[in-house]
């Protein structure tokens, strides 16, 4: 609409682009932050502030980041930025977990078997180091691209010398305290490659095995069974070669066991499996042992516990019947042959019952003397011989073949065995570590609340911690072995020497130098006095390594300290890092390394399913960055309730992106109406229209709410509060109402300056509130703000937290309370008015609301509030040209009319003529303008 008056108005002006173009513009802000060294600066401004340390849990330096790592890092970043803006000294040192089997495995795969054979352990370690460092760099740049701020120039790496020295320090302290011991545990073992295998190095594949049923004669059978014949417990196994290591039979405690009478013998097994076993063994006739009443004799597994049987291989040796949770009643006989040296479950139940774990198979897979009659036999060839041997002795009930999934070595593709070997353990109970840890848990704040249950049950139930690994890429168990007698040599002197060695040369030296080169003179075996020592070849579990970051990082770095205020990781870390950090810290220092632990759920797709390549629902953070921008990932991170699993999908990101645009446009409107606002233009509270004072109250309330939500770690509430404020409070009400004043009133009028004063307050507050989340956009806004509003501060991230509005409103607390109450009513009426306007619009009686005049038949409870305001004020708030107030009285029985309870609104065409400048309907003068516009135009 061509309108000459347009130039006489104060229409919005700004260079701040409506379209964000985040993907291409964000890198410019990254450069800006680099240029001004924002990380150092953010520390400097809070040099004297209280300390807040969020200690970063190290992601594994392998591969690119995914949505989960992106979420976690952004989450941490917004907390650190918030605390920093609140005045806390909050250094953030990112870390990486660099050692471990996956990297070693990958390097070995890349190398191929030929080259692998040729290189030394030291060379392999060098390749692993290069591999890890490459991905540290990759991930660091990806994290930075997300806007994560921290000491990326000097992160902590578990392969650093100083870090490795910390491993020794913690190990030494726990060793001194008597928590670390040497024991045995079965592990996957490949006797061809003569090596231990990690779970990830196992490939499962179908294998045809022997399937045999064996009778273990009971030495002290229950009388009810024995009466019917010689009694045995019947077991089933697919690994006959493990029978020499048998020490027990495990039953299900609550299951019913019966005696099956076959050929004059009584075979005890689970009742539920009798039919299946009969089929497998081909019994032509059998019957259950019955009592006098003719009922089958049923005995619970737990009642049989403690009975003894004759070990099937070793003559004159007894085994014991125990019970365990792992016994299934779906296959076998419900009586499980138990050899703690040959299986994980067998081992665990063996530990529980204090059983020995004989291990008659050597590292080549050959039976030693422990194999009894089979000594010298290779396990690969043992099965048929053992089966025949059993048959000869009349204990083989049946033999067949079965196909099942079985573990294979990834290198030679051949079946592997479970074999107990010497390992290092941290004892949970010898020195009371478990109890101390449970005690320490109580002193930590766990968010959300269920988190404490989880850590508690894990610490309560976990077995001793096996901390040794038979690998190359890691930190060695820092002890020695006497070559002469095999005794472990480790004391203050050796630990100090090793710690120094690692601190100066790194753990690599362990593999290239002889102990005599770095141990002081005179170190000798405490048992035999031998002085020739061999360095332990096992390395330490990577969980132990990352767990000691409280020592290697928090203690070691000047800017940090232990305990940290906060650890923040996904819920899987209850078993992982939270626990390993807790146990090593309690073990070495008797206290938890953290004051608060925050846990978040996992990232899943829109249907709540985990992301996987096969489902095709994987969302890559790098793709999201290039499509939407890092700020949209950041906004998504903040918007989700992390106490449960967090969904991400195209739709969710699309919605988040729309929310982003809404927030961005709100800022754009604010900026565009402050182009001519100078510090001298500020209007005092007393001189403001009531609407503006109310807007300040609303803003102060928002700041308050948002601050509390940040403090309570409720970031999705921050998001909802800010988003809602932009849409509801500002866009659809306050800003909409303000347009007339901002555009049409005289530029320098008090009414317009008052509005701008409020807009400035909103802008400078809001930009700070969103800065921890929308780090890039907030910075962009900051740089577009009028000079004076920036107060000479270079970056929004150095600008501190908004406090002045809250103080101003607090000075007028009473009035503020009244305004809050009154505006509840005003806004109710406004809703009714807009609804009535919409009806009129649908009837084509009006177009824009300024064409209307509304008559409000106020309800009784609203009347007083409306009466207290003048009609023009109300008309402005409702964006109509005029308001008339009426109160409808209705007659009552006693003849005294009372006000009607309901509210009615009539919409009429506005009186007067449309002012061509401000589009309100008014009395117009000779120039055709309304009084206000006329005087503005004339100046």
Partner RNA sequence: GGGCCCGUAGCUCAGUUGGUUAGAGCGCACGGCUGAUAACCGUGAGGUCGAUGGUUCGAGUCCAUCCGGGCCCA
Name which of residues 680 to 719 contact RNA (CB under 7 A): 716-717, 719
Helix (H, G, I), strand (E, B) or coil at 456: helix
CB closer to RNA out of 84 and 338: 338
CB closer to RNA out of 511 and 743: 743
CB closer to RNA out of 291 and 658: 658
The residues that bridge with 296 in the sheet, in sequence order, are 290
Q: Are 625 and 702 in contact (CB under 8 A)?
A: no
CB closer to RNA out of 617 and 887: 617
CB closer to RNA out of 555 and 746: 746
Name which of residues 553 to 582 contact RNA (CB under 7 A): 570-572, 574-575
CA–CA gap between residue 90 and residue 429 (Å, rounded): 37
Is there binding between residue 842 and RNA (CB under 7 A)?
A: yes
Which residues in 410-542 belong to E strands, given as ranges? Answer: 417-426, 445-447, 465-466, 468-469, 480-482, 488-489, 533-535, 539-540
Is there binding between residue 9 and RNA (CB under 7 A)?
A: yes
Q: Are 251 and 323 in contact (CB under 8 A)?
A: yes
- Choice from 486, 608, 679, 925 touching RNA (CB under 7 A): 608
Q: How far is the CB of 669 from RNA (least distance, A)?
A: 3
- Choice from 727, 786, 899, 928 touching RNA (CB under 7 A): 727
Is there binding between residue 752 and RNA (CB under 7 A)?
A: no
CA–CA gap between residue 15 and residue 672 (Å, rounded): 8
Is there binding between residue 911 and RNA (CB under 7 A)?
A: no
Q: 4: Cβ–Cβ under 8 A, 6 or more apart, which residues?
A: none
CB closer to RNA out of 39 and 425: 425
Name which of residues 656 to 685 contact RNA (CB under 7 A): 658-659, 661-662, 665-666, 668-669, 672
CA angle 848, 849, 851 (to 5 degrees): 80
Token pair 């305004």 in the structure block, residue = 819
CB closer to RNA out of 473 and 719: 719
- First-to-last alpha carbon distance for the chain, in angstroms, is 24
Compose the 436-475 pattern: x for residues touching RNA by CB under 7 A, - for all others. --------------x--xx--xx-----------------
CB closer to RNA out of 172 and 735: 735
CB closer to RNA out of 257 and 733: 733
Considering only 10-18, 212-220, 315-323, 430-438, which stretch makes contact with RNA by CB under 7 A? Answer: 10-18
Q: How far is the CB of 850 from RNA (least distance, A)?
A: 9
Considering only 51-59, 475-483, 533-541, 645-653, which stretch makes contact with RNA by CB under 7 A? Answer: 645-653
CB closer to RNA out of 519 and 785: 785
Secondary structure (DSSP) of 380-437: HHHHHHHHHHHHHTT-EEEEEEEEEEEEEETTT--B-EEEEEEEEEE-SSTTSHHHHH
Is there binding between residue 602 and RNA (CB under 7 A)?
A: yes
Contacts of 897-903 spanning 24+ positions with Cβ under 8 A: 898/860, 899/858, 899/859, 899/860, 899/863, 900/857, 900/859, 900/860, 901/859, 901/860, 901/861, 902/859, 903/828, 903/829, 903/832, 903/856, 903/857, 903/858, 903/859, 903/862
CA–CA gap between residue 230 and residue 264 (Å, rounded): 7
CB closer to RNA out of 126 and 644: 644
Is there binding between residue 82 and RNA (CB under 7 A)?
A: no
- Choice from 835, 872, 886, 901 touching RNA (CB under 7 A): 835
CA–CA gap between residue 104 and residue 101 (Å, rounded): 5
- Choice from 732, 804, 867, 935 touching RNA (CB under 7 A): 732
Name which of residues 845 to 874 contact RNA (CB under 7 A): 847-848
Is there binding between residue 19 and RNA (CB under 7 A)?
A: yes
Contacts of 891-899 spanning 24+ positions with Cβ under 8 A: 898/860, 899/858, 899/859, 899/860, 899/863
Q: How far is the CB of 233 from RNA (least distance, A)?
A: 22
Q: Are 488 and 480 in contact (CB under 8 A)?
A: yes
Name which of residues 50 to 79 contact RNA (CB under 7 A): none
- Choice from 505, 641, 690, 828 touching RNA (CB under 7 A): 641
Considering only 474-482, 490-498, 518-526, 739-747, which stretch makes contact with RNA by CB under 7 A? Answer: 739-747
CB closer to RNA out of 116 and 618: 618
Q: How far is the CB of 254 from RNA (least distance, A)?
A: 11
- Choice from 520, 679, 724, 909 touching RNA (CB under 7 A): 724
Three state DSSP letters for 337-387: EECCCCCHHHHHHHHHHCCCCCCCECCCCEECHHHHHHCCCEHHHHHHHHH
Is there binding between residue 838 and RNA (CB under 7 A)?
A: yes
Is there binding between residue 647 and RNA (CB under 7 A)?
A: yes
Considering only 104-112, 122-130, 728-736, 855-863, which stretch makes contact with RNA by CB under 7 A? Answer: 728-736
Contacts of 622-626 spanning 24+ positions with Cβ under 8 A: 622/64, 622/65, 622/142, 622/145, 624/653, 625/23, 625/26, 625/145, 625/146, 626/23
Q: How far is the CB of 381 from RNA (least distance, A)?
A: 29
- Choice from 41, 298, 720, 869 touching RNA (CB under 7 A): 720
Helix (H, G, I), strand (E, B) or coil at 701: helix
Q: Are 773 and 710 in contact (CB under 8 A)?
A: no
Three state DSSP letters for 842-892: HCCCCCCHHHEEEEEEECHHHHHHHHCCCHHHHHHHHCCCEEEEEECEECC
CB closer to RNA out of 189 and 719: 719
- CA trace torsion 779, 783, 786, 788 (10° rounding): 80
Q: How far is the CB of 176 from RNA (least distance, A)?
A: 29
Helix (H, G, I), strand (E, B) or coil at 929: coil
Is there binding between residue 723 and RNA (CB under 7 A)?
A: yes
Token pair 């495995």 in the structure block, residue = 105
CB closer to RNA out of 66 and 557: 66
Compose the 756-775 pattern: x for residues touching RNA by CB under 7 A, - for all others. --------------------
- Choice from 124, 355, 428, 744 touching RNA (CB under 7 A): 744
Q: How far is the CB of 672 from RNA (least distance, A)?
A: 6
Q: Are 560 and 523 in contact (CB under 8 A)?
A: no
Name which of residues 310 to 369 contact RNA (CB under 7 A): 325-326, 344-345, 348
Name which of residues 191 to 250 contact RNA (CB under 7 A): none
Is there binding between residue 731 and RNA (CB under 7 A)?
A: yes
CA distances for 126 relative to 472, 508, 614, 824, angstroms:
11, 9, 35, 69
Q: Are 853 and 882 in contact (CB under 8 A)?
A: yes
- Choice from 162, 331, 402, 644 touching RNA (CB under 7 A): 644
CB closer to RNA out of 313 and 428: 428
CB closer to RNA out of 378 and 720: 720
Tell me the HSE value of 37 on the side-chain side, using a 13 A CA sphere: 6
CB closer to RNA out of 37 and 325: 325
- CA trace torsion 372, 377, 379, 385 (10° rounding): -80
CB closer to RNA out of 17 and 897: 17
Is there binding between residue 609 and RNA (CB under 7 A)?
A: yes
Is there binding between residue 781 and RNA (CB under 7 A)?
A: no
Name which of residues 403 to 422 contact RNA (CB under 7 A): none
Is there binding between residue 639 and RNA (CB under 7 A)?
A: yes
Other beta carbons within 10 Å of 747: 14
């Amino acid at each position: 609409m061509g309108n000459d008056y347009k130039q006489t108005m104060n229409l919005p002006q700004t260079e701040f682009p409506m379209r964000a173009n985040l993907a291409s513009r964000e890198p410019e802000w990254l450069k800006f932050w680099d240029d001004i060294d924002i990380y150092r600066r953010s520390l400097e401004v809070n040099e004297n502030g209280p300390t807040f340390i969020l200690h970063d849990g190290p992601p594994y330096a392998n591969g690119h980041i995914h949505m989960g790592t992106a979420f976690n890092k952004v989450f941490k970043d917004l907390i650190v930025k918030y605390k920093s803006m609140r005045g806390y000294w909050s250094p953030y040192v990112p870390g990486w977990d660099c050692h471990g089997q996956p990297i070693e495995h990958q390097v070995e795969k890349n190398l191929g078997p030929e080259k692998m054979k040729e290189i030394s352990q030291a060379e392999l370690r060098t390749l692993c180091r290069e591999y890890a460092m490459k991905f540290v760099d990759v991930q660091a740049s990806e994290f930075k691209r997300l806007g994560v701020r921290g000491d990326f120039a000097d992160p902590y790496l578990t392969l650093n010398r100083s870090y490795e020295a910390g491993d020794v320090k913690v190990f030494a302290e726990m060793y001194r305290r008597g928590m670390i011991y040497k024991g045995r545990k079965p592990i996957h073992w490949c006797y061809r490659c003569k090596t231990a295998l990690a779970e990830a190095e196992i490939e499962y594949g179908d294998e045809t095995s022997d399937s045999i049923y064996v009778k273990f004669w009971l030495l002290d059978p229950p009388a009810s069974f024995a009466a019917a014949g010689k009694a045995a417990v019947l077991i089933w196994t697919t690994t006959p070669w493990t029978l020499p290591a048998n020490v027990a039979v495990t039953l299900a405690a609550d299951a019913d066991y019966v005696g099956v009478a076959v050929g004059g013998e009584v075979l005890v097994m689970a009742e539920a499996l009798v039919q299946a076993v009969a089929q497998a063994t081909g019994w032509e006739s059998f019957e259950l042992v019955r009592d006098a009443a003719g009922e089958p004799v049923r005995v619970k597994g737990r009642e049989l516990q403690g009975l003894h049987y004759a070990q099937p291989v070793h003559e004159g040796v007894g085994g014991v019947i125990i019970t365990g949770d792992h016994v299934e009643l779906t296959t076998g006989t419900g009586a499980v042959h138990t050899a703690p040296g040959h299986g994980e479950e067998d081992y665990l139940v063996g530990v529980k019952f204090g059983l020995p774990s004989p291990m008659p198979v050597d590292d080549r897979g050959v039976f030693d003397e422990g194999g009894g009659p089979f000594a010298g036999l290779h396990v690969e060839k043992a099965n048929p011989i053992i089966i025949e041997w059993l048959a000869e002795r009349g204990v083989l009930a049946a033999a067949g073949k079965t196909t099942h999934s079985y573990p294979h070595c990834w290198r030679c593709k051949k079946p592997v065995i479970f074999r107990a070997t010497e390992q290092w353990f941290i004892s949970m109970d010898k020195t009371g570590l478990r109890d101390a840890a449970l005690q320490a848990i109580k002193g930590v704040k766990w968010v959300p609340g269920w988190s404490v249950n989880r850590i508690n049950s894990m610490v309560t139930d976990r077995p001793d911690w096996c901390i040794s690994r038979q690998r190359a890429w890691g930190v060695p168990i820092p002890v020695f072995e006497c070559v002469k007698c095999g005794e472990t040599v480790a004391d203050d002197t050796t630990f100090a020497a090793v710690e120094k060695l690692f601190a100066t040369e790194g753990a690599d030296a362990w593999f290239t130098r002889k102990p005599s080169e770095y141990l002081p003179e005179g170190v000798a075996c405490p048992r035999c006095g031998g002085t020739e020592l061999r360095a332990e070849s096992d390395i330490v579990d990577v969980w132990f390594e990352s767990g000691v970051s409280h020592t290697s990082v928090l203690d070691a770095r000047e800017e940090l300290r232990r305990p940290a205020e906060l650890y923040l990781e996904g819920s899987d870390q209850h078993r992982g890092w939270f626990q390993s950090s807790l146990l090593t810290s309690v073990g070495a220092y008797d206290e938890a390394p953290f004051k608060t632990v925050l846990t978040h759920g996992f990232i899943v797709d829109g249907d709540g399913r985990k992301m996987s390549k096969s489902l095709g629902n994987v969302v890559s953070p790098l793709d999201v960055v290039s499509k939407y921008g890092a700020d949209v990932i950041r906004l998504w991170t903040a918007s989700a309730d992390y106490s449960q699993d967090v969904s991400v999908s195209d739709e969710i990101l699309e919605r988040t992106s729309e929310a982003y645009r809404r927030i961005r446009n709100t800022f754009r409107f604010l900026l565009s109406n402050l182009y001519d606002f100078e510090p001298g233009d500020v209007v005092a509270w007393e001189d403001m229209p009531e609407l503006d004072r109310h807007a300040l109250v609303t803003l102060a309330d928002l700041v308050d709410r948002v601050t509390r939500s940040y403090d309570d770690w409720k970031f999705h509430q921050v998001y909802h509060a800010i988003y809602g404020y932009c849409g509801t409070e500002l866009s659809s009400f306050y800003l909409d109402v303000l347009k007339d004043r901002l555009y049409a009133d005289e530029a320098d009028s008090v009414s317009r300056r008052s509005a701008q004063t409020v807009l400035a307050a909103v802008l400078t507050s809001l930009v700070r509130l969103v800065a921890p989340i929308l780090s890039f956009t907030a910075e962009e806004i900051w740089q577009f703000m009028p000079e004076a509003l920036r107060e000479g501060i270079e970056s929004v991230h150095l600008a501190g937290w908004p406090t002045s509005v809250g103080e101003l409103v607090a000075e007028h607390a009473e009035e503020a309370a009244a305004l809050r109450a009154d505006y509840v009513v005003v806004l109710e009426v406004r809703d009714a008015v807009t609804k009535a306007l919409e009806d009129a619009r649908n009837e084509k009686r009006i177009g824009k609301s300024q064409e209307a005049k509304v008559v409000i038949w106020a309800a009784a409870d609203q009347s007083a509030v409306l009466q207290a305001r003048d009609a023009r004020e109300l008309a402005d708030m409702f964006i109509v040209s005029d308001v008339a107030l009426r109160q409808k009285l209705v007659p009552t029985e006693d003849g005294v009319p009372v006000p009607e309870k309901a509210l009615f609104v009539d919409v009429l065409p506005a009186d007067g003529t449309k002012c061509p400048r401000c589009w309100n309907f008014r009395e117009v003068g000779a120039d055709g303008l309304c009084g206000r516009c006329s005087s503005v135009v004339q100046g």
